[in-house]
């Protein structure tokens, strides 16, 4: 597209075309949630959609999980390379492969990619990617540790046409559905995603018909250029220099209790940014490895959230051009075939964005972002005695909450920074109807988050009773028993989390990345820390601390030890004088919340006195 | 006897009088936010004066008043509701705060700098008590009375005037909630006490609890308002029936709706679509887009085959409201919408609005450019006859404001006004496209019914952009909701959640659910003096394919199912699903969730008076001209202006032309023609 054609597009058409793509994507995601049957997609919204140009340039990506879709250009380039001229209207390409041109995060995330033609010319690709309920492999759900290699993790589908010119490839589909659990259900979800891509195609065709090819493409390129200029200006306003961040996951599930670390060096030079992951740990035997496209997706997501929120509606290839991501092959941030990747959306995918957020906060302190509570997921599978059928259950219900940002406390509710909070919690009533677990508790716990001038969102206490059969619980999507996520600008890290099984008088601790037995009658308790804080907790306005105490988000003891605010436990009145004294004294000790595994209480202990994994 | 409808909006209180002859009279007064009953009686007073009667005598001759109000919505949006206490199942008090984990309710997910959601009930007023009902309705643990009394005492001592009782699975068995309610009422007879299952007896705790909390939040103020209104009307000799317009498109007597105050949300806008169906019916049109463009918002409703759509997916402000509401999506676009430049240098108009104060620059207070200012610069609005001359517009101020926007665009004020006009039309057209195509409809099959004070100026341009062939601008355009209220049936809706797959379904069980709902409906209607013979029943069920999480609502062939009609029900479900999502899965079992019964009593059909064919020529209606700018034309075009009051059926006007009235102005674009129908509505068509 030449510059001259672009400059003739009037501003109103420009805006119309642009917002047309944005709203199309939102409709696409909504259509999948309304028609899918998997709890993950329909209720929790573990799915992403977007539109790309034929060359892989990102047009619109307003909705989804960064790791699922911000690196799609790599898959599109590979598809162009692989199929060359053999792409046709009505083709649908399916891939879930991290390797072989799939550039995907892990096997349960199936992506349906559809080329879109206009008068015989390939102009766009759409992609709909959702987390399938199953993808074969040794255990359901895809988040189990200790697979021998990627082949053992499940069915690997390189980019292949499941539909050719509108006609389903019966043989290929038969092979796929013969190798997954719940084939009927998975077929329903595939239908939902394929129908959504078709719907998107109709809408794009309508837009091309109305405005013409040159105007639509011209508008897209113009918006990319404008976005690029704006993002460059934002980066240019950051002081030049190199800023580092690191974050770790508890272990890799195979070599136990040995943290795995992602390290990033962010270099701001003029209006460009380089994210270098070279110092990260080497690729692991366990399942926490990230492929490059996924590391890339999370790294750019971290940069994007540091941009002016007024740009939030626009991001596209233009935002990505000034960002370079380096991750040498063989590191945990650029794993090579046949490394296992099952846990990578959570670990170390989560650590990629956490490390970047820390580094960028040093470059832009007045837009600091604290990390969020880690995912405390599991895949529980057993039999529901009410139907006699097998079930697999996972959810975000038991996760902690958002971290603080400069200017705002973290929200209680939103889960996992790595999804940017784009996933949702379920309904307990719905879950009890669907799964044989009776909920005993789901509530925030006082003091159970990082303190700060702006504190993290509340930590969560989740308890459920198994009314179904014996079975197993794979905690591959959990993290944070040992490694705490960081605050910013003096804000506190979040506390450590715990998962315990109460069986009779016994308390059985289940660490992340393990496979535990569950018995009928077990009570599973998840104490999931909330988000980390931003700014010194002693700088938190006194009345906000008092309000938190009144709301039982902070205890009287927490007010004193964490925030330096003295409150009378009987009247809940602030003792101004004592507070002033406490706040102006030198702090010999800092305190943090620690779970007492015997009583399940949240206690305050001096920082550094408690051990994590070995406790 | 006369009938009245009164719609209290944010800026104006609209009053329509329908005489027995079918003649309609329109009255407008300013809304009085401090005590909306004042504006209500101002408007009624204007009507009485028009008929030359004292207020009491006039009201004595009124058979029925249907009343819609934005009071509930305003209280919620401006956070002026009651201090609410929430009593909930112990261990689950944070569900309304966690809000399903939603971070960005509005706006992009890439914006992470968002203030935490502020629930209507802060955490210290949310107290758990021991009790538990299971998903199948079995009471596992009865309410712990002493815990309940302690919790209630704490909340009352804190000064709560409304209590929301929110127990898990109460939709399956309301016993524990009812017991808690009795005890709280004993302790505080004057408190507003609402239970989740009586407010909205359907599953999913966040949605149900959030809804009942909203109800408790707006309930006390709405109850006080409704009582004051009832008393005021009685004092002034009104002996007829006062009906309130509900969010679900039905109307109801005051006593039946104050306990479920959440149904009074959106009560004005919910009526506009029935105005559209009525007006469309006059022209044999059943696919309609009802639009209402006022000062701050643009509401649209897609009516297919004459059916007004409803939804249970609404958010009002930041709060989830899961009752069934007439589906009237809205966007911040109106006469007061402000123009601004976004961070990428694109012109944007709305959603921020200058409101009533300071209002558009032309009102003389503000200096920022609004849509009204652009319309004035373009020559579309009369500076001297805005709202019949009630508000004088200062053209100079509009020019200055629009010029400011023009500078950022490197344009003069004329071109900038043109760009603003097109931009706001695009915002509205996009909303229409989104809601319409989401449901798979082709806009070219629809007729646009344009209401709202600002609707007439923008309707033709929107229609042109969307290739909509025909626009109806009603004679009552500026009072569209009030007009819609004439067409409403009296009714209530009942629901019971019951989860069964198509294999598990037990016809007798469903039959008894319906018998129970019917009993309740008959009792409710008997209390307001309506006999069973006057009632109609419509059973529906929310269903889906086994394993899905979102429902499709399907009409039941009968309240008593049998093997035969059950088959028809399944077929109807597959067909409806296919229509919505382009495919269906008849090979897959369906499952049933919430069974609903809508009970209605039809009201006397409204008959509007038709007028005779024009006796005078068009020139008799002429009232000068204005120099207007149109898209694609370099120079202003001297555009004839007509007085709507003097237009007669059969008149035909070729665009460009303007039609003024004391409540609105209609623009007939160049290339459009306008016909006056038998009821003095304007029909705009291209070519």
Q: pLDDT tens digit string along A408-455?
A: 999 999 999 999 998 999 999 999 998 999 999 999 999 999 999 999
Distances in Å between the Cα of A229 and the Cα atoms of A20, A234, A312, B229 are: 22, 9, 14, 59
Burial class (CB in 10 A: 0-12, 13-18, 19+), B138: exposed
CA distance A484 to B368: 49
**Shortest alpha-carbon distance between residue B417 and chain A (Å):** 13
- Average confidence score pLDDT of chain B: 91
Q: Is the pLDDT of residue A615 over 70?
A: no
Nearest to A249 by CA among A240, A237, A257, A238: A257
Superfamily of domain B2-75+224-264: ATPase, nucleotide binding domain (3.30.420.40)
Please answer whether residues A141 and A377 qualify as being in contact, where contact means their C-beta atoms are separated by less than 8 angstroms.
no
Are the Cβ atoms of B203 and A427 closer than 8 angstroms?
A: yes
**Which chain A residues are Cβ-neighbours of B434 within 8 angstroms?**
23, 27
Are the Cβ atoms of A33 and B550 closer than 8 angstroms?
A: yes
Burial class (CB in 10 A: 0-12, 13-18, 19+), B123: buried
Report pLDDT for B387: 73
Residue A386 is given by DSSP the state: T
Please answer whether residues B88 and B212 qualify as being in contact, where contact means their C-beta atoms are separated by less than 8 angstroms.
no
Report pLDDT for A497: 98
Distances in Å between the Cα of B619 and the Cα atoms of B623, B667, B680 are: 9, 18, 16
Are the Cβ atoms of A308 and B115 closer than 8 angstroms?
A: no
Q: pLDDT tens digit string along A320-371?
A: 999 999 999 999 999 999 999 999 999 999 999 999 999 999 999 999 999 9
**Which chain A residues are Cβ-neighbours of B546 within 8 angstroms?**
37
Report pLDDT for A614: 40
**Which chain B residues are Cβ-neighbours of A438 within 8 angstroms?**
134
Distances in Å between the Cα of B290 and the Cα atoms of A614, B171, B309 are: 66, 34, 11
Sign of the CA dihedral with B419 first, then B425, B428, and B431 last: negative
Name the fold adopted by B489-601: Dna Ligase; domain 1 (3.30.1490)
Within this chain, domains B2-75+224-264 and B489-601 share the same CATH topology: no
Q: pLDDT tens digit string along B652-664?
A: 999 899 999 988 9
**Shortest alpha-carbon distance between residue A53 and chain B (Å):** 21
For B117, name the nearest residue in chain A, comparing CA atoms only. A411
CA distance A437 to A380: 11
Are the Cβ atoms of A552 and B124 closer than 8 angstroms?
A: yes
Are the Cβ atoms of A553 and B123 closer than 8 angstroms?
A: yes
Backbone angles phi, psi at A350, to 5 degrees: -60, -40
Are the Cβ atoms of A428 and B419 closer than 8 angstroms?
A: no
Q: Is the pLDDT of residue A613 over 80?
A: no
Q: Is the pLDDT of residue A481 over 50?
A: yes
Report pLDDT for B439: 63
A31 close to B (CB below 8 A): yes
Nearest to B89 by CA among B197, B199, B192: B197
Report pLDDT for A150: 96
Give the N- to C-terminal CA distance of chain B in Å, as an integer.
44
The set of residues, in sequence order, having a beta carbon less than 8 Å from that of B141 and lying 6+ positions away, is: B130, B131, B132
Report the half-sphere exposure of A395 (CA within 13 A, side-chain side): 22
CA distance A138 to A153: 7
Q: pLDDT tens digit string along B176-230?
A: 999 999 999 999 999 999 999 999 988 899 999 999 999 999 999 999 999 999 9
B168 close to A (CB below 8 A): yes
Distances in Å between the Cα of B285 and the Cα atoms of A269, A462, B470, B680 are: 63, 55, 10, 17
Are the Cβ atoms of B124 and A551 closer than 8 angstroms?
A: yes
Which A residues, 241 through 260, put their C-beta within 8 Å of a C-beta on chain B? none
CA distance A336 to A566: 55
For A421, name the nearest residue in chain B, comparing CA atoms only. B103
A414, A420, A567: which to substitute to probe chain B, counting the most B Cβ within 10 Å?
Answer: A414
Burial class (CB in 10 A: 0-12, 13-18, 19+), B149: middle
Mean pLDDT calculated for residue range A131-144: 91
B111 close to A (CB below 8 A): yes
Nearest to B59 by CA among B211, B255, B195, B234: B234
CA distance B122 to A552: 11
Between B91, B110, B434, which is nearest A305 by CB? B110
CA distance A90 to B657: 48
Helix residue spans in B236-360 (DSSP H): 254-257, 272-282
| Of A196-205, A305-314, B401-410, minimum mean pLDDT range | A305-314
Please answer whether residues B347 and A15 qualify as being in contact, where contact means their C-beta atoms are separated by less than 8 angstroms.
yes
Q: What is the second-level CATH architecture of the domain B271-316+440-485?
A: 2-Layer Sandwich (3.30)
Count of CB atoms situated within 10 Å of the CB of B409:
17
B632 close to A (CB below 8 A): no
Are the Cβ atoms of A16 and B426 closer than 8 angstroms?
A: yes
Of chain B, the percentage scoring pLDDT greater than 70 comes to: 99
**Shortest alpha-carbon distance between residue A258 and chain B (Å):** 32
Q: Is the pLDDT of residue B650 over 60?
A: yes
CA distance B498 to A249: 44
Are the Cβ atoms of B548 and A422 closer than 8 angstroms?
A: no
Count of CB atoms situated within 10 Å of the CB of B90:
19
Are the Cβ atoms of B123 and A35 closer than 8 angstroms?
A: no
Q: How many helices (H) and strands (E) does chain B have?
A: 17, 34
CA distance A263 to A479: 18
Report pLDDT for A5: 52
Nearest to A378 by CA among A594, A522, A184, A193: A522
**Which chain B residues are Cβ-neighbours of A35 within 8 angstroms?**
548, 550, 581
Confidence of residue B405 (pLDDT cuts 50, 70, 90): very high
CA distance B433 to B52: 47
Domain spans of chain A?
Answer: 3-229, 368-540+585-615
Count of CB atoms situated within 10 Å of the CB of A533:
31
The region, left, alpha or beta by phi > 0 then psi within -120 to 50, assigned to residue B141 is beta
Please answer whether residues B666 and B457 qualify as being in contact, where contact means their C-beta atoms are separated by less than 8 angstroms.
yes
B508 close to A (CB below 8 A): no
Please answer whether residues B331 and B452 qualify as being in contact, where contact means their C-beta atoms are separated by less than 8 angstroms.
no
For B168, name the nearest residue in chain A, comparing CA atoms only. A429
**Which chain A residues are Cβ-neighbours of B422 within 8 angstroms?**
12
CA distance B665 to B639: 13
A340 close to B (CB below 8 A): no
Strands (E) in B137-203, as ranges, are: 139-141, 162-166, 192-195
For A407, name the nearest residue in chain B, comparing CA atoms only. B113
Count of CB atoms situated within 10 Å of the CB of B38:
16
Q: Is the pLDDT of residue B667 over 60?
A: yes
Which A residues, 47 through 106, put their C-beta within 8 Å of a C-beta on chain B? 62-64
ipTM of the complex: 0.94
What's the whole-model pTM score?
Answer: 0.91
Burial class (CB in 10 A: 0-12, 13-18, 19+), B351: middle
B493 close to A (CB below 8 A): no
B99, B343, B405, B421: which to substitute to probe chain A, counting the most A Cβ within 10 Å?
Answer: B343
A413 close to B (CB below 8 A): yes
Q: Is the pLDDT of residue A608 over 80?
A: no
**Pairing relationship of beta strands B241-245 and B62-69 according to DSSP bridges:** parallel
Gyration radius from chain B CA atoms: 26
Mean pLDDT calculated for residue range B500-509: 92
B157 close to A (CB below 8 A): no
- Average confidence score pLDDT of chain A: 94
**Which chain A residues are Cβ-neighbours of B319 within 8 angstroms?**
none
Between B102, B111, B346, which is nearest A309 by CB? B111
Gyration radius from chain A CA atoms: 24
Domain spans of chain B?
Answer: 2-75+224-264, 81-216, 271-316+440-485, 489-601, 618-686
Q: pLDDT tens digit string along A246-256?
A: 999 999 999 99
Report pLDDT for A6: 55
The set of residues, in sequence order, having a beta carbon less than 8 Å from that of B107 and lying 6+ positions away, is: A312, A313
B96, B101, B427: which to substitute to probe chain A, counting the most A Cβ within 10 Å?
Answer: B101
Of chain A, the percentage scoring pLDDT greater than 90 comes to: 85
Please answer whether residues B509 and B519 qualify as being in contact, where contact means their C-beta atoms are separated by less than 8 angstroms.
no
Backbone angles phi, psi at A437, to 5 degrees: -125, 130
Count of CB atoms situated within 10 Å of the CB of A177:
15
Are the Cβ atoms of B430 and A23 closer than 8 angstroms?
A: yes
Which A residues, 459 through 478, put their C-beta within 8 Å of a C-beta on chain B? 463
Mean pLDDT calculated for residue range B640-665: 94
For B546, name the nearest residue in chain A, comparing CA atoms only. A37
A179 close to B (CB below 8 A): no
Count of CB atoms situated within 10 Å of the CB of B37:
16
Mean pLDDT calculated for residue range B48-70: 94
CA distance A290 to B183: 58
Confidence of residue B354 (pLDDT cuts 50, 70, 90): confident
Q: Is the pLDDT of residue B563 over 50?
A: yes
What does B463-479 look like in DSSP terms, one character per residue? HHHHT--EEEE-TTGGG
Are the Cβ atoms of B123 and A552 closer than 8 angstroms?
A: yes
Q: pLDDT tens digit string along B238-291?
A: 999 899 999 998 888 888 889 999 999 988 889 999 999 999 999 999 999 999
**Which chain B residues are Cβ-neighbours of A530 within 8 angstroms?**
none
Mean pLDDT calculated for residue range B96-120: 92
Please answer whether residues B364 and B19 qualify as being in contact, where contact means their C-beta atoms are separated by less than 8 angstroms.
no
Interface A–B counts its CB contacts (< 8 A) at 209
């Amino acid at each position: 597209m030449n510059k001259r054609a672009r400059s003739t597009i009037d501003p109103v058409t420009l805006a119309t075309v642009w917002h047309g793509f944005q709203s199309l994507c939102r409709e696409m995601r909504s259509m999948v949630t309304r028609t899918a049957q998997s709890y993950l997609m329909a209720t929790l919204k573990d799915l992403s959609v977007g539109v790309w140009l034929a060359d892989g340039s990102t047009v619109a990506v307003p909705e989804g999980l960064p790791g699922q879709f911000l690196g799609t250009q790599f898959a599109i380039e590979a598809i162009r390379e692989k199929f060359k001229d053999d792409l046709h209207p009505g083709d649908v390409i399916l891939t879930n492969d991290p390797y072989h041109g799939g550039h995907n995060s892990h096997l349960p995330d199936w992506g349906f990619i559809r080329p879109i033609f206009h008068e015989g010319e390939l102009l766009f690709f759409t992609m709909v990617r959702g987390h399938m309920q199953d993808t074969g492999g040794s255990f359901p759900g895809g988040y189990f540790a200790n697979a021998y290699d990627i082949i053992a993790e499940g069915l690997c589908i390189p980019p292949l046409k499941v539909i050719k010119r509108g006609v389903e490839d019966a043989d290929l589909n038969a092979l796929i559905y013969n190798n997954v659990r719940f084939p009927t259900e998975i077929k329903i979800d595939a239908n939902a995603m394929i129908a959504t891509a078709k719907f998107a195609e109709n809408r794009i065709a309508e837009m091309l018909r109305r405005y013409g090819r040159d105007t639509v493409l011209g508008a897209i390129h113009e918006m990319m250029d404008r976005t690029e200029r704006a993002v460059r200006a934002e980066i240019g306003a950051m002081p030049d220099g190199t800023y580092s961040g690191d974050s770790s996951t508890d272990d890799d599930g195979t070599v136990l209790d040995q943290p795995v670390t992602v390290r990033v060096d962010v270099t701001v030079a003029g209006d460009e940014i380089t994210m270098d992951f070279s110092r990260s740990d080497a690729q692991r035997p366990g399942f926490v490895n990230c492929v490059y496209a996924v590391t890339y997706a999370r790294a750019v997501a971290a940069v994007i959230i540091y941009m002016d929120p007024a740009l939030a509606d626009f991001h596209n290839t233009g935002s990505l051009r000034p960002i370079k991501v380096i991750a040498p092959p063989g590191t945990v941030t650029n794993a090579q075939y046949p490394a296992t990747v099952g846990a990578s959306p959570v670990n170390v995918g989560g650590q990629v964005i956490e490390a970047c957020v820390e580094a960028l906060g040093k470059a832009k302190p007045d837009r600091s972002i604290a990390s969020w509570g880690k995912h405390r997921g599991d895949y529980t599978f057993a039999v529901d005695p009410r139907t006699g059928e097998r079930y697999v259950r996972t959810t975000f219900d038991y996760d902690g909450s958002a971290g603080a940002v400069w200017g705002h406390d973290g929200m209680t509710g939103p889960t996992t920074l790595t999804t940017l909070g784009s996933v949702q919690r379920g309904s307990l009533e719905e879950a009890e109807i669907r799964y044989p677990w009776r909920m005993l508790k789901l509530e925030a716990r006082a003091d159970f988050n990082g303190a700060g001038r702006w504190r993290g969102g509340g930590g969560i206490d989740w308890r459920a009773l198994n009314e179904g059969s014996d079975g197993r619980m794979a905690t591959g999507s959990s993290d944070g028993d040992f490694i705490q996520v960081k605050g910013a600008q003096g804000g506190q890290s979040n506390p450590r989390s715990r998962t315990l099984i109460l069986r009779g008088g016994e308390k059985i601790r289940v660490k992340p990345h393990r496979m535990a037995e569950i018995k009928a009658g077990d009570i599973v308790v998840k104490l999931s820390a909330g988000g980390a804080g931003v700014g010194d907790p002693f700088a938190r306005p006194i009345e906000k601390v008092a309000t938190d105490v009144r709301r039982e988000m902070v205890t009287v003891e927490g007010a004193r030890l964490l925030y330096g605010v003295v409150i009378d436990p009987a009247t809940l009145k602030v003792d101004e004088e004592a507070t002033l004294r406490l706040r102006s004294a030198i702090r010999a000790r800092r305190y943090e919340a620690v779970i007492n595994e015997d009583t399940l209480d949240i206690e305050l202990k001096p920082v550094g006195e408690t051990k994590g994994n070995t406790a | 006897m006369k009938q009245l409808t009164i719609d209290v909006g944010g800026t104006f209180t609209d009053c329509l009088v329908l005489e027995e002859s079918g003649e309609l009279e329109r009255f407008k007064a300013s809304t009085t936010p401090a005590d909306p009953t004042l504006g209500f009686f101002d408007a009624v007073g204007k009507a009485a004066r028009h008929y030359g009667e004292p207020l009491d005598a006039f009201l004595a001759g009124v058979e029925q008043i249907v009343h819609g109000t934005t009071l509930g919505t305003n209280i919620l949006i401006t956070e002026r509701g009651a201090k609410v206490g929430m009593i909930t199942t112990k261990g689950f008090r944070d569900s309304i705060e966690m809000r399903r984990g939603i971070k960005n309710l509005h706006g992009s997910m890439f914006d992470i700098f968002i203030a935490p959601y502020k629930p209507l009930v802060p955490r210290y007023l949310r107290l758990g008590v021991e009790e538990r009902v299971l998903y199948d309705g079995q009471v596992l643990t009865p309410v712990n009375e002493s815990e309940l009394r302690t919790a209630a005492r704490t909340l009352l001592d804190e000064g709560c005037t409304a209590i929301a009782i929110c127990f898990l699975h109460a939709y399956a068995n309301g016993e524990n909630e009812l017991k808690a309610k009795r005890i709280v009422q004993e302790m505080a007879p004057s408190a507003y006490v609402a239970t989740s299952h009586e407010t909205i007896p359907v599953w999913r705790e966040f949605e149900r609890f959030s809804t009942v909390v909203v109800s408790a939040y707006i309930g006390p103020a709405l109850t006080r308002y409704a009582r004051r209104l009832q008393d005021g009307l009685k004092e002034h000799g009104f002996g007829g029936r006062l009906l309130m317009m509900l969010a679900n498109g039905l109307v109801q007597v005051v006593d039946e709706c104050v306990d479920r105050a959440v149904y009074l949300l959106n009560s004005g806008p919910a009526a506009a679509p029935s105005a559209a169906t009525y007006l469309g019916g006059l022209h044999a049109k059943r696919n309609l887009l009802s639009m209402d463009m006022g000062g701050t918002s643009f509401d649209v409703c897609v009516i297919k085959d004459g059916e007004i759509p409803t939804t249970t997916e609404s958010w009002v402000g930041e709060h989830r409201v899961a009752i069934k509401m007439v589906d009237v999506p809205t966007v911040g676009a109106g006469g007061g919408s402000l123009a601004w430049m976004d961070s990428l240098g694109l012109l944007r108009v709305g959603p921020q609005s200058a409101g009533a104060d300071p209002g558009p620059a032309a009102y003389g207070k503000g200096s920022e450019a609004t849509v009204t200012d652009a319309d004035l610069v373009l020559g579309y609005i009369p500076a001297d006859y805005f709202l019949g001359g009630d508000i004088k517009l200062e053209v100079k101020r509009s020019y200055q404001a629009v010029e400011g926007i023009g500078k950022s665009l490197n344009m003069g004020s004329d071109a900038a006004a043109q760009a603003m006009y097109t931009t706001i039309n695009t915002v509205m057209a996009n909303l229409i496209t989104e809601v319409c195509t989401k449901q798979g409809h082709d806009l070219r099959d629809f007729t646009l019914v344009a209401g709202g004070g600002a609707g007439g100026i923008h309707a033709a341009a929107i229609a042109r952009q969307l290739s909509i062939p025909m626009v109806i601008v009603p004679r009552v355009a500026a009072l569209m909701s009030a007009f819609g209220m004439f067409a409403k049936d009296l009714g209530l809706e009942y629901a019971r959640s019951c989860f069964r797959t198509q294999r598990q379904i037990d016809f007798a069980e469903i039959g008894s659910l319906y018998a129970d709902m019917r009993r309740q409906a008959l009792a409710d209607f008997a209390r307001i003096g309506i006999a069973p013979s006057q009632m109609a029943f419509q059973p529906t069920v929310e269903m889906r394919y086994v394993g899905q999480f979102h429902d499709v609502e399907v009409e039941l062939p009968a309240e008593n199912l049998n093997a035969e009609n059950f088959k028809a029900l399944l077929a109807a479900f597959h067909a409806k699903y296919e229509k919505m999502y382009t495919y269906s899965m008849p090979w897959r079992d369906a499952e049933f969730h919430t069974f609903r019964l809508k009970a209605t009593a039809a009201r006397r059909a409204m008959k509007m008076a038709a007028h005779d064919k024009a006796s005078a020529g068009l020139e008799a209606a002429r009232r000068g001209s204005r120099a207007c700018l149109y898209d694609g034309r370099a120079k202003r075009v001297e555009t004839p202006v007509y007085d709507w009051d003097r237009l007669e059926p059969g008149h035909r006007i070729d665009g460009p032309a303007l039609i003024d009235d004391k409540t609105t102005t209609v623009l007939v674009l160049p290339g459009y023609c306008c016909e006056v129908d038998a009821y003095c509505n304007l029909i705009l068509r291209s070519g």
